[in-house]
Structure 1
Amino acid sequence: MNISAIVRRHRLLLAVGTLLGLAGTAATLLQPLLIGDLIEAVALDEPVTRPIVLIAALFAADALLAATHFYLIGRAGENIVLDMRTTLTGRLLHSRIRAFNRLEHGDVFTRTVADTAIARIALSSSVAQMITAGFTTVGCIAVMAWLDWRMLLVTVGCLGTASAVALALARAVRRAAVTNREDTSAYGSGLLRVLGALTTVKASRAEAREAERLRELADAARGSGVRVTRLSAMLMPAMNVGTQVSLAVVIAWGMARTATGSLSLEDLTAFIMYLFYLVSPLVMLFMALGEFQQGRAAIDRVRELAAVEQEDTGGSVPDRPAGSAAAVEFDDVTFGYPGTSAPAVAGVSFSLPATGVTAIVGPSGAGKTTLFQLIERFQDPDRGTVRVLGTDVAALPLDELRARVALVEQEAPLMRGTVRENLTYARPDATAGEIREAVEAAHFAEVVDALPGGLDTELGENGIGLSGGQRQRLAIARALLARPDVLLLDEATSNLDSDSETALRAAITTVGTRCQVLTIAHRISTVVDADRILVLEDGRLRAAGTHAGLMASDDTYRRLAGQQLAPTGAEPKAEPRPKAGTGATGTGAETDAGRRLTPAEAAR
């Protein structure tokens, strides 16, 4: 993320606001001189109307210019933080899944919300304050030198020492601020971790342990925050000490010189006023410097998050292929996750027609979910080609690819909002008829009709308000509403009861007449009606065929089917290996003891 480019987009507001601040500073610098003229006029018994009017006009102009300055700078700062957050969230939403999964979500939240707010201060108000305060400081010193350069040397000596101390403190503030931001992010990540699994925490009676862990994280953030506060709090006293010493010396020496006639009273008065005027901008200068140092730490953290690896969204939209094109095709595809020695899928090749129902079975770690991630381009193959409707997915724009492919995840994640908003998430323009059709196809209509607000019923975080099976059916209806060419179901029936599963299997069969349905199955009962079954093991495609064919030819598939048929606690009956020359080998599907096949289903 180019922070400089974002700031340049708002340079006009920043420039005008800064110029108005400088103009206000000039009005401030003229005030002591006019007050000196007023004192001189009173001493000489001259008319004082003109000096009073000019002073009043300067006060009014100073107030107006200062108010406009702060408004414009503040508006520019809000614009900057809006652009930063918009750019940052856009990059997060388009980040590669594997890169995003490495991030701590609490830290992401802190950087996106809190760090951008601190960066706003550094990039707008702090910079403007440093410019106007610096101009005021230089102006005061110049006029003070013109009034009496000897007293200026004394003043600079005292304030210079204090300024050096303040500068060292400002640098220490930045280092402490970096630590504090990291500690705050760690606390945020810890809190989200616990709240995301609150039911598990309660069921494990871990409230006290987690509370203590969070207290330690919060205490670390408090400690580093106190250090930032302590160092920041020392900036003002450091400048005050220098000011008080300077003021004492100037008054004592100035009064002595006034008594001897070597310094006029009006010049002494003006010099003292400029000394007071000098203190405030110096304090503001170093406070702004401290804020800027904190902001630099926040900017570094925002830049680091914005550097998250991005998806390649390029490609051109090809013409729709002829009806004979395969819905999904894997051509010698190999892929391995970073940091693992064995590939998740290795040399996988298969082709699926435009319609029908295909099931993928295999043990845990066989590579089933990885196939889905490769189809959706959440991951890119190390070797080989994945095609959807005859086109390499790497050549398709992501929007086009994901419009053709719909995914129902096993966890069926939902968002806070109404049932309708969750249902139409992929197709906000869906008609009432299309919504009803998808709801009925997913066997979700009775649930919607029973809800107090129907489709407009509000759901909590992660779909709170619906059972697990109801959430899964809503997710399936959402996918069906998108009318995809390929529908991916990651064990979509895992949370359904027997009646709902039967209805959904019928719905999937119907959907399979107009698109390719590819489902990961852990229960053999959900695959017996599939047009074809792919058996994976250790990332390799071991066998392919129908349920009846695999029961006859693949020992592993037959063994797993037998496990689901066998009574609970009984050992599955050993099956003979297929005769040589049948050519099909396979691995079993992941089993679920929840529903067992009937003998009639097993015989199919």
Structure 2
Amino acid sequence: MFRTAHSESPTPHDWVGEITRRHLPKICGAIVLGLGAAAAGLAQPALIGQLIGVVGTDAGLFVPIIVVVGLFLGEAALTAVQAYSMGRTGERIVYDTRVALLDKLLHADVTAFGKLRHGDVQARVVTDTSLLKIALAQSLPSIFIDSAMVVGGIVLMFLIDPLLLGVTAGGLGIASAVSLLLARRLRTVAQHNRAIVGDLGSDLQRAIGAFSTVKACRAEELEGNRIGGVAFAARSSGIKVSALNAMLSPVMSIGLQASLAAVIITGMGRAATGAISAADVTAFIMYLFYLVSPLMTLFIGIGQLQQGRAAIGRINELASIPQEPSVLLPHTPAGATARHPDDVLASRDTVIYNHFGVEFQRVRFAYEPDEPVLRGVSFSVPARGLTAIVGPSGSGKTTLLQLLMRFYPVQGGRILINGENINAIPVNIVRGLVGYVQQESTTLRGTIGENLVYGENHATSTEIERALWLSGLTDVIRALPRGLDTELGESGVGLSGGQRQRLAIARMLVRRPAVLLLDEATSNLDSESELVLRNSLRRISAECTVISVAHRMSTVVDADRIVVMEAGGVRALGTHRELLAGSPLYQRLNAIQQGPAAGRGRENP
């Protein structure tokens, strides 16, 4: 659940309120237009009452009729402009909120983001933000305008006859109290409904993401029943929301009808005795009719606002996700020479051909307290050449690469690039220098070319051709009818697993990184493709740092240096030949993959 990740922040910052306040002048302008329309509407019953009073007299009717028609047209025009203005403002609020949310999510801390349910995130960004237009740009202004209409009508009705107003207030007061109670209950139910819809989106995305696995395990019915159960809960919750919404209008309608009946009976009786004129009774009844629409929309607006408040709470909660800091070190340690990262890393070529490379100094890290993954790891990687990291599963190999990418903060020790602590370098500069290819690198829907230059749109054709050649994709692309313009489906459908992996490597090579990280990057390659890539890595490692995490020992025999890890620590360092001779752990890892023949071969190297 999202709340688990942010239990320390029970009251999120009001991000939606900040965005809405930027559009406050437009909202106020629309409210002024609405109040003008309300004033034009309130003036109509009084003028119509006067017209009734002068009928049969010698007074002229032309001017009063023209005035009434003008008020009709003025009310209609102001209402139309007000509705358009609020609709436009509402769309802008939704847009600004979505853009702000996307910015928050894309710059979120990796640990915090990993705790979110992605389907629920999508529901908040897409569905919950849509409710803002109704809640903030329609319901909220409507509440102000309708309230002014109701108050103005009540005042004018009081001036006509306080007794009839008292009769009216009896029925409307009870109906209003019941409607407010329903609106409060509606907010609670709506908030629960939004949470269930988020669960539904999360579960659906889970099933779609594992579509092949679902079919392979014949779990269609299982997933259908599980997601269907959540859908049924969403249906039941949605019915409750609809029921409470549906009750608001009838409650107010009953109150209005009861009040109208009482006013007609009382008013006609008082008119018969001469206590009030027929024109005043007519004007009073017209005001009561005029109150029907604003009262109905007022309480409907209150109900919609309550639903919107539930969505606003969820949006604010998501927007409060912890952000990834650009620089982790707040100041330069005493006695150290202050060097701005731009000065150290201004030239990419300077970094590529430096002699510092990458250094891990007593690096410690744990995903969970008291469960350390890295226990004081120390080793250095030269500026050029291929360094391989091997070891049993869970030894911390991938974690080292993720720390170097600044996905997680180092909890002890430090990591240096070009002699500079990565915590003191802005994170965007670190990731511009370091290219990272994961075991299951994502291939995006779009063309091969778009995937290749993703995040690096200024890449030249020469850089693209070089990246394709180094990754062994040149012939593959030439064989495709549309070449780089070939469209790929979801998750890279259209390429084999090995081709997708080589495309991910080429995508990093286009960036010409100073350090290239390969996390099991050859795991999906066939023997021929692996040989091509191994030859390419020799060329790549001649001009930058290459660090490769591997389980397949065939991919590390050419490494200039091999780091052997176990249980979060470094157990041995050396070349393939040196480690075969002196590291029992490396011998065991090699023997597991090579079989007994490898062991016999080691006895007589």
Secondary structure class of the residue paired with 1:43: coil
Match of 1:307 among 310, 316, 320: 320
Range that drifts further, 72-81 or 41-50: 41-50
2:514 alignment partner in structure 1 = 485
Matched, 1:338 2:368: yes
- The one of 24, 29, 34 equivalent to 2:42 is 29
Shift of 1:252: 1.1
Unaligned runs of 5+ in 2: 1-12, 329-339
Secondary structure of the residue aligned to 1:535 is strand
Q: Which amino acid aligns with 2:343?
A: D
Q: Which residue does the alignment assign to 1:318? A: 342
Distance 1:493 1:543 in 2: 23
Aligned residue for 1:197?
A: 210
Deviation, structure 1 residue 249: 0.8
Secondary structure of the structure 2 residue equivalent to 1:344: strand
Give the aligned partner of residue 391 of structure 2. 362
Q: CA deviation at 1:454?
A: 1.0
Matches of 1:148 and 1:97 in 2, distance apart?
67
Aligned residue identity for 2:594 = L
> Residue 335 of structure 2 aligns with which residue?
none
Match of 2:148 in 1: 135
**In 1: Cα distance, 2:273 partner to 2:51 partner:** 23
Cα-to-partner distance string for 1:90-130 (whole Å, 9 max, x where unaligned): 01000111110100000000011111111332222111001
Contact 2:562 2:576 in 1 (8 A): yes
The structural deviation recorded for 1:291 is: 0.8
Letter of the aligned partner of 1:489 in structure 2? L
Deviation at residue 420 of structure 1 after TM alignment: 0.6
> Displacement of 1:45 after TM fit?
4.2
Q: Secondary structure at the match of 1:111?
A: helix
- The residue that corresponds to 2:588 in the other structure is 559
CA drift of 1:563 comes to 2.5
Contact 1:426 1:478 in 2 (8 A): no
- Residues 79-118 of structure 1: pairs in structure 2 closer than 5 A: 79-118=92-131
Secondary structure of 2:548 counterpart: strand
**Matched residue, 1:278:** 291
Aligned counterpart for 1:442 among listed residues 467, 471, 485: 471
| Alignment coverage as a number of residue pairs | 575
Counterpart amino acid of 2:278?
A: L
So what's the TM-score if we normalise by structure 2?
0.93
Hey, what does 2:60 align to over in structure 1?
A: 47
Q: Is the 8 A contact 1:548 1:603 kept in 2?
A: no
Residue in 2 aligned with 1:240? 253
Q: CA deviation at 1:317?
A: 2.8
Q: Which residue of 2 aligns with 1:578?
A: none
Percent identity over the alignment is 49
Aligned-residue offset at 1:364: 0.6
- State the partner residue of 1:351: 380
Task: Quote the Cα distance in structure 2 between the aligned partners of 1:212 and 1:342.
Answer: 37
Counterpart among 547, 562, 571 of residue 542 in structure 1: 571
Which runs of at least 4 in structure 1 moved beyond 3 Å after TM superposition? 320-325
Deviations 1:318-374 (A, max 9, x none): 3237754422111111000125x3211111111111111000001110000000111
The Cα of 1:562 is off from its aligned counterpart by 2.0
The one-letter code of the counterpart of 1:320 is V
CA deviations 1:40-64 (Å, max 9, x no partner) are 2223242211111111111111011
Please give the per-residue CA displacement for 1:141-183, whole angstroms capped at 9, x wherever unaligned: 0000001110000101110000000000000100100110011
Question: Distance between the aligned counterparts of 2:409 and 2:502, measured in 1?
Answer: 29
Task: Give the aligned partner of residue 179 of structure 2.
Answer: 166
Q: Distance in 1 between matches of 2:62 and 2:357?
A: 91
Task: Check whether the contact 1:325–1:390 (CA below 8 A) recurs between aligned residues.
Answer: no
Q: Distance in 2 between matches of 1:184 and 1:3?
A: 21
Distance 2:481 2:187 in 1: 54
Residue 557 of structure 2 aligns to a residue whose secondary structure is coil
Report the equivalent of 1:579: none
Q: CA deviation at 1:308?
A: 1.1
Gaps of 5+ in 1: 576-598
Q: How does 1:469-548 map to 2 (within 5 A)?
A: 469-548=498-577
Quote the Cα distance in structure 2 between the aligned partners of 1:168 and 1:451.
66
Q: Secondary structure at the match of 2:516?
A: strand
- Residue 263 (structure 1) aligned to one of 271, 276, 279: 276
Q: How far did residue 603 of structure 1 move? A: 8.8
| Post-superposition offset of 1:450 | 2.1
Give the TM-score normalised by the residue count of structure 1: 0.93
Report the alpha carbon displacement of residue 564 of structure 1 after superposing the two structures with TM.
2.1
- Partners of 1:468 and 1:495 within 8 A in 2: yes
Could you say what secondary structure the match of 1:487 adopts? strand
Q: Which is further off, 383-392 or 556-565?
A: 556-565
